Amino acid sequence: MKQLLILLVLSSGLAAAARGQDEARQAIQQRLNEYFEATKSKDWDKTVNLLYPKLFSLVSKEDMVQMFRDMEGNGVEFEMKGFELLRISDTVNYAGESFALIGYSARMNIRFTSQSYQEASVLEAIRQNYEATYGAENVHFRAENNSFGIRSEKAMFAIAPEGSSEWTFMESEPGQESLLRSMIPDAARQKLAGQE
């Protein structure tokens, strides 16, 4: 009888924890859809408002919005589309914040309109850079309009105050480990890495 009672308590605790994870995933997915839509439609103010606020200790919101606006111009047009959510980890709580790791894929079209990007050597250098970053199988050059189609699989962190559904996001880019360490606590990153 005592063992049955313990089993019932444990199973109800596990069920409650699973429901909590499902609710967190749903809240993350809803905010993530807003983020993807804002990025796709180039609504940079909304995109920036969905970024992890600690990033603004490095770059102001206004400067970040301007950086996004400046990405397009100077002979470069880009489009992001085809966002697909691949996975959302269980959440991890640490120091008053909740963290989750998100895997997603996206397609980008980058078109070079400036004459300076028409030279074969420049396009070859760009192609090599994209292939090194995204893998040769994910990069396709279209000579007819001087553009690249790129498919990428990426990761980002979702972060919210513990108990909140106000999730914000921070990309996890290769080569930016020092930035990640300064923003996402080691303990949280290690717990999330253990779930992959």
Can you tell me the distance from the alpha carbon of 126 to that of 148, in angstroms, rounded to the nearest whole number? 9
Half-sphere exposure (Cβ direction) of 92: Cα atoms closer than 13 Å:
20
pLDDT (tens, 9 = 90+) of the chain, 196 residues, equals 555 444 344 444 433 444 445 889 999 999 999 999 999 999 999 999 999 999 999 999 999 999 888 877 778 888 999 999 999 999 999 999 999 999 999 999 999 888 888 888 999 999 999 999 899 999 999 999 999 999 999 999 999 999 999 999 999 987 788 898 899 999 999 888 876 5
Q: What is the pLDDT of residue 175?
A: 79
Give all domains of the chain, ordered by start, each with its CATH number: 2-193 (3.10.450.100)
Cα 3 to Cα 184: distance, rounded to the nearest angstrom: 41
Residue 133: per-residue pLDDT: 87
**What is the per-residue pLDDT for 21?**
56
Nearest-angstrom CA–CA distance, 185 and 97: 10
| Predicted pLDDT of residue 69 | 85
With b for 16 or more beta-carbon neighbours within 10 A and e for fewer, the 116-151 pattern comes to eeeeeeebeebeeebbeebeeebbeeeeeebbbbbb
